[in-house]
A and B are shown apart, each in its own frame.
Chain A
Amino acid sequence: MHLQVSSVCKSFGYGPKAKPVLDAVSFDLHSGQFLALVGSSGSGKSTMMRLIAGLDRPSSGEIRLDGELIRGPGADRGMVFQKYSLYPWLTAAQNVAFGMRLQGRPKAEVRERTAYFLEVVGLVDSARLLPRELSGGMQQRVAIARSLAAEPKVLLLDEPFGALDLQIRESMQDFLHRLWMQTGLTALLITHDLEEALLLAQQVHILAPRPGRIVRSVNADLDRSSLAHLRVSQPFLALREELASCLRSLDSPLTA
């Protein structure tokens, strides 16, 4: 799997009123990699995600998946939204099965894979509950399981834990890290939380706002055997502080 984003620009509106949102963004993502795009609001990171998902078209530049130009949404790019996007009339298990049923997979296979992915996200006991009966963290785990079950080549995570409490966020970060180790998935994470990005991603791109563009890329080669230790380890804190000051300098005094 190779996701190629080359000189992607995007503006909204036409003529003199056109507002540039993304300016010549380029990066690559390979199989098994965990990549994060970090930026404040206005950095166009959600727009970038929508372009990769095929929900919007770039104004110029191109996005290719395994050499093929992306022209629209498809099951090869699974997406997890920030806000609860579970189908409220379906149980947790039915939500997980939803994508596979859309794809028309055989019933037995759907049942088997649903059970497997509920197990992976630790929600076997909640299989029959409706989304409103699940906590925010559980809902996001169902959403992730639903995406994974549809077998995407890359998982797009758009601020997946942005709406959760701090404590639940941390446990969800641990969960996502374990999931990545376990399943070898390829993931692109969008977040404004630098710590989250450094904890999870091997490579982090920093986006500057108005218009969004990559100003800094770092390889975060850190020892991730224990996220709890990593959170307080010296190399992690040093890297975080360095990038945080970079992010701060990007926000002009007017908007800070």
Chain B
Amino acid sequence: MPPSEADPLRRLSSLRRFLAQPWVLGLVGVATAMLIWFLTTASGAVDNLFLPSPQAVWQAGQAQWQSGLLLKDAVASIQRVFIGFALSAGLALPVGIAMGTNPTICRLLEPLMALIRYMPAPAFIPLLIIYFGLEELPKILLIFIGTFFFNTLMIMDAVKFVPSELVETALTLGGRGLPILTRVVAPFVAPQVLDTYRINMASAWNLVIVAELVAATEGLGKRISLAQRFLRTDDIFVGLIVIGLVGLVIDLGFRFLMRKACSWAN
């Protein structure tokens, strides 16, 4: 007898296939958290001042959107992250490659970088404020300090692991210094460099919020710290959720870029 759609075994296996989709269980996880949140607030067990309901947060979000504040804050934060991170990523690439290919440069810089890397970037905020005031520069520099050393050391490691055969083959094919760098080393480390950027982008995103909590006129972090002053927990939730969503979009963007540009590595 040919299996039909009504066959329970067959239905079970198609359910299993559906659950095996990578995003399905992830959505179930998010939906469960939302449901627990909703039920907790709906039951009245917790004071709404401390834990606002999902509906209240949605309304607060709508209000922030309509006033234009949400967009303005998000743009301000994203701009800081991108400028600071672009500086960090752009400088880390040549320095990391230099350290990964040249043992002298590596021995010179690695201990220094390893040391600074363990200094928590937020601890630099007071210094940065003393040096550069409360404008954009200290915030951008904070993101730079917090990500540059990680970016550099991780790129250095990627470069060190380029198989020597790949470089030596190029040498025996008549290759020399710079062409080997651009045609062998660069394409080989590209996927790891993108992954490094993806991982460290998360800290950049953390740091911009920290910087804004301390001193800023606008930005998602600033909005949260203002909301605290007026006990507006619903606004705090809006800020947190938007921060999470923007971070997630950036992360997915990097993954997409990696799949497109480095399909050979998957």
Please report A residues at the B interface, Cβ cutoff 8 Å. Answer: 53-55, 72-75, 77-79, 81, 83-85, 87-89, 98-99, 101-103, 130, 132, 143, 146-147, 150, 152, 156
14 extra interchain contacts, Cβ-Cβ under 8 A, other than A75-B173, A81-B165?
A: A54-B171, A73-B171, A73-B172, A78-B172, A79-B168, A87-B166, A87-B187, A88-B264, A88-B265, A89-B265, A98-B170, A143-B169, A147-B172, A150-B174
Beta-carbon nearest neighbor of A73 in chain B: B171
B172 and A87: CB pair below 8 A? no
On chain A, the residues within 8 Å of B129 by CB distance are none
On chain A, the residues within 8 Å of B165 by CB distance are 81, 83-85
On chain A, the residues within 8 Å of B122 by CB distance are none
On chain B, the residues within 8 Å of A54 by CB distance are 171-172
Of the listed residues B168, B183, B187, B188, the one surrounded by the most CB atoms of chain A closer than 10 A to its CB is B168
Q: How many residues of B contact A (CB 8 A)?
A: 19
Within the complex, the shortest CB–CB distance from A130 to chain B, in Å, comes to 6
Within the complex, the shortest CB–CB distance from A216 to chain B, in Å, comes to 29
Within the complex, the shortest CB–CB distance from B122 to chain A, in Å, comes to 39
Looking at the complex, which one of B168, B174, B188 makes contact with A55 (CB distance below 8 Å)? B168
Within the complex, the shortest CB–CB distance from A187 to chain B, in Å, comes to 14
Contact A87/B174 with A55-B168, A79-B168, A102-B179 known, Cβ cut-off 8 Å: no
Q: Kindly state whether residue B184 has any CB partner on chain A within 8 Å.
A: yes
Contact A81/B169 with A88-B264, A89-B188, A89-B262 known, Cβ cut-off 8 Å: yes
Q: Kindly state whether residue B175 has any CB partner on chain A within 8 Å.
A: yes
Of the listed residues A54, A88, A130, the one surrounded by the most CB atoms of chain B closer than 10 A to its CB is A88
Within the complex, the shortest CB–CB distance from A253 to chain B, in Å, comes to 35
Please report B residues at the A interface, Cβ cutoff 8 Å. Answer: 163, 165-166, 168-175, 179, 183-184, 187-188, 262, 264-265
On chain A, the residues within 8 Å of B184 by CB distance are 87
CA distance A72 to B172 in the complex (A): 9
Contact A102/B170 with A83-B165, A85-B165 known, Cβ cut-off 8 Å: yes
Within the complex, the shortest CB–CB distance from A117 to chain B, in Å, comes to 13
B169 and A85: CB pair below 8 A? yes
On chain B, the residues within 8 Å of A77 by CB distance are 172
Q: List 23 A-B contacts (CB under 8 A).
A: A53-B168, A55-B168, A73-B172, A74-B172, A75-B174, A77-B172, A79-B168, A79-B169, A81-B165, A83-B165, A84-B165, A85-B163, A85-B166, A88-B264, A88-B265, A89-B265, A99-B173, A99-B175, A102-B173, A103-B174, A132-B264, A150-B173, A156-B172
Of the listed residues A85, A99, A130, the one surrounded by the most CB atoms of chain B closer than 10 A to its CB is A85
CA distance A195 to B168 in the complex (A): 28
B172 and A102: CB pair below 8 A? no
CA distance A81 to B167 in the complex (A): 12
B264 and A98: CB pair below 8 A? no
On chain A, the residues within 8 Å of B168 by CB distance are 53, 55, 73, 79, 81, 85
CA distance A89 to B185 in the complex (A): 11
CA distance A79 to B170 in the complex (A): 10
CA distance A84 to B166 in the complex (A): 9
CA distance A150 to B265 in the complex (A): 27
On chain B, the residues within 8 Å of A72 by CB distance are 171
CA distance A84 to B168 in the complex (A): 12
On chain B, the residues within 8 Å of A81 by CB distance are 165, 168-169
CA distance A147 to B171 in the complex (A): 11
Within the complex, the shortest CB–CB distance from B175 to chain A, in Å, comes to 5
Beta-carbon nearest neighbor of A143 in chain B: B169
Beta-carbon nearest neighbor of B183 in chain A: A102
B264 and A53: CB pair below 8 A? no
CA distance A151 to B241 in the complex (A): 61
